[in-house]
Structure 1
Amino acid sequence: MRIMRDIRRWAIYYVPAEKSAFARFGADWLGWDAQAGRAIEGYDPPGLPLPRAEITAQPRKYGFHATLKAPFVLGDDREPAALDAAITALAGEFEPFALPLVLGTLGSFLALLPAEPNAPLDALAAACVTRLDTFRAPEAAEHRRRHPGTMTERQRAYFGAWGYPFVLEEFHFHMTLTGALGAEDRAKVAAALDPLVAPLLAEPRTVRDICLVGEDRQGMFHLLKRFPLARGPAI
């Protein structure tokens, strides 16, 4: 595991393969490479209605990823080595799977979304949420009071049980590309991004591993370790 001091929170992400064209696109677009742990100058494709830095300010710190288990504080009685072992065991029970993606809208932001329902993905995300939750420190009551009251009853129940409302039946895999945008700006950004992402999404991605990431004291997320999905074929 990559060693970092003063990790504030931990999370389980899907992160594109290191040095792949998919990973390079995400780092260049967001301006942060979580795998290398550094800022990227990136580029501004033509047609953007706002500066790229403004468009990507909200998702930048997380890096190019999809959340499988949302950021959490490690419990006082839990050690990173034990978390490492638990993720290794979990990943070993799943096999790689195809994941077709499309550029789309989730709420008021743009993201890469599954092109169709994906049972292996849902099962993997559910396992990450439920089986690794013993490592999560309980949420403070103050945090619960501050959380927006826009959740459904089921989302509130999940938030209470798992520390995050968008899990299990409420889970929506997404690789965030922008912050909140108005409809007109969102359409213009989508048009500017489409020529960049279309070649990358022409064939389904293959999910081959899951990643442990850590948030530093400046709020930026770093990839700490990859865990291969290693289950062999059924005999």
Structure 2
Amino acid sequence: MRYAICFTPTPSDPLSQVAANWLGRNVFSGEMVEPPAIRGIGIHEIAFHTAVPRRYGFHGVLKAPFHLAPDVSETQLLRDMMRFSGSFQPFRIPRIEVARLHNYFSLVPSVPCEYMHYLASAVVQHFDRFRAPLSEAEIERSDPDGLSAAQFANLHRWGNPYVMDEFRFHMPVTGPVNLVDMPRIEQALRNVFEPVLAEPVTVANIALMIEEGTGGPFRVHSLHPMGKVSARKIA
């Protein structure tokens, strides 16, 4: 079993509901969802292109999946997450948009969000004591030969190449897409998501996600509200 610390909107947020429909799975309940009918792209093609993010559920990773260190417990992790989340004030990402990252698509802030970058860096550092060291097999799966010097250092120090200065917040909505299919998939994504991207995204919770068995899907175990009780009312 692995854990991950992420951001995802609340279950009632329209963005969560649209993302669950697109990916074909609700990250909170784990239930499969019938994909939407979209002109120009069939449901089987949607299922193919969303296979990777469907397993992980709709989220933006803050601390990548990790095994618990042998000297800590899930109870301790949950207790620490409650304390930690209360020390950060909720904030808003003014706008997010569909964007191509390498050969896949994600939802990303239209302009870099310093608050999210700071939160992610703090999560990586604060919860590192809960992370078991990477195995040799896990290091190899990260393709260390293809990493930059900074990414390689991050991999060995924090268990993930893409943290600190290498971090870019994103919420994946496809797996790899062939170059020839990209324009059509991008248009489908815009048709599906843009109606719910007009409003700012409120970041008022940190999610603990858990992998269901080895190699199984991830689901939200718990949401940990940010800020003191009075401050949470802005969300």
TM-score (norm 1): 0.91
State the one-letter code of the partner of 1:223.
V
What residue ranges of structure 1 are gaps of 5+ in the alignment?
1-7
Are 2:225 and 1:228 aligned? yes
Residue deviations 1:74-120 (CA, integer Å, cap 9, x gap):
11111111101111121111111111201111111011011112111
Equivalent of residue 187 in structure 1, options 183, 189, 196: 183
| Root mean square deviation, CA, Å | 1.5
Residue 156 of structure 1 aligns to which amino acid in structure 2?
F
State the one-letter code of the partner of 1:15: T
- 27, 30, 55: which one pairs with 1:34? 27
Does the aligned pair in 1 maintain the 2:14–2:196 contact within 8 Å? yes
Question: Displacement, 1:143?
Answer: 2.5
**SS where residue 64 of structure 1 aligns?**
coil
Where in structure 2 are the equivalents of 1:1-235 lying within 5 Å? 8-48=1-41, 51-99=45-93, 100-148=95-143, 149-217=145-213, 219-231=216-228
Matched AA of 1:211: A
* 8 A contact 1:209–1:227 mirrored in 2: yes
- Label 1:182 to 1:145 Cα distance change in 2 as closer, same or farther (>3 A): closer
SS of 1:67's equivalent in the other structure is strand
Could you tell me how far apart the structure 1 residues matched to 2:178 and 2:124 are?
Answer: 32
Q: What CA distance in whole angstroms lies between the structure 2 residues aligned with 1:154 and 1:189? A: 32
- Hey, which of these two has a bigger chunk of helix by percent? 2
Per-residue CA deviation, residues 183-221 of structure 1 (Å, 9 max, x unaligned), is: 331111111121221121112111111100100115101
Matching residue's letter, 1:219:
G
Unaligned runs of 5+ residues in structure 2 are none
Aligned-pair CA distance for 1:28: 0.8
Equivalents in 2 of 1:44, 1:53: separation in Å? 12
State how far apart, in whole Å, the 2-side matches of 1:64 and 1:186 are. 20
Partner SS state of residue 61, structure 1: helix
Identical residues among aligned pairs (%):
33
Q: Which runs of 4+ in 1 moved over 4 A?
A: none
C-alpha displacement at 1:146, in angstroms?
A: 4.2
Is the CA contact 1:90–1:127 (under 8 Å) kept in the aligned structure 2? no
Task: Determine if contact 2:60/2:170 at 8 Å carries over to the other structure.
Answer: yes
Query: What is the CA deviation profile of residues 156-179 of structure 1, one whole-angstrom value per residue up to 9, with x for unaligned ones?
Result: 000000100000111111110111
Q: TM-score w.r.t. structure 2 length?
A: 0.91
* Rounded Cα–Cα distance in structure 1 between residues aligned with 2:46 and 2:35: 9
Q: For the Cα contact (< 8 Å) 2:82–2:224, is it kept in 1?
A: yes
SS of the residue 1:112 aligns to: strand
State how far apart, in whole Å, the 1-side matches of 2:159 and 2:12 are.
33
Query: Could you tell me how far apart the structure 2 residues matched to 1:63 and 1:95 are?
Result: 25
